[in-house]
Amino acid sequence: RGLGVESKPELQRVLEHRRRNQLIRQKKEEEEAKKLQSPFEKELLKRHQRLDQLEKEQEKQEDHAPEFIKVKENLRRTSTVTGDEKAA
């Protein structure tokens, strides 16, 4: 055929080149988006991360609570929901 063992078909080279360019463009866009974040957006992101962390800690604490406490909390929730439904 006259093709070298390590040479790739033209279509494959073009596709790889496009993928590489697309990844480079995507990384540049992400970096620009990070640079353009206002201080307000950064603070919101920090607050969101803190809230997520607090929720995870609460879930861990609830997992270690005795079963009767969990049941009692569930009963309180259902009783307030049924009480609200009766009032409405």
The rounded distance, in Å, linking the Cα atoms of 44 and 46 is 5
With beta carbons less than 8 A apart as the criterion, state whether 80 and 72 touch. Answer: no
Whole-angstrom distance, CA of residue 28 vs CA of residue 57 = 36
88 has a pLDDT exceeding 90: no
Q: What was the pLDDT predicted at 20?
A: 97
Model confidence, pTM: 0.37
Count how many Cα atoms sit within 13 Å of the Cα of residue 36 in the half-sphere of its side chain.
6
Residue 1 reports pLDDT greater than 60: no
Domain boundaries in the chain?
10-85
Q: Quote the pLDDT of residue 72.
A: 80
Q: Is the pLDDT confidence value at 29 over 70? A: yes
Q: Please report which confidence band the pLDDT of residue 36 belongs to, taking 50, 70 and 90 as the band edges.
A: confident
Q: Check pLDDT > 90 for residue 47.
A: yes
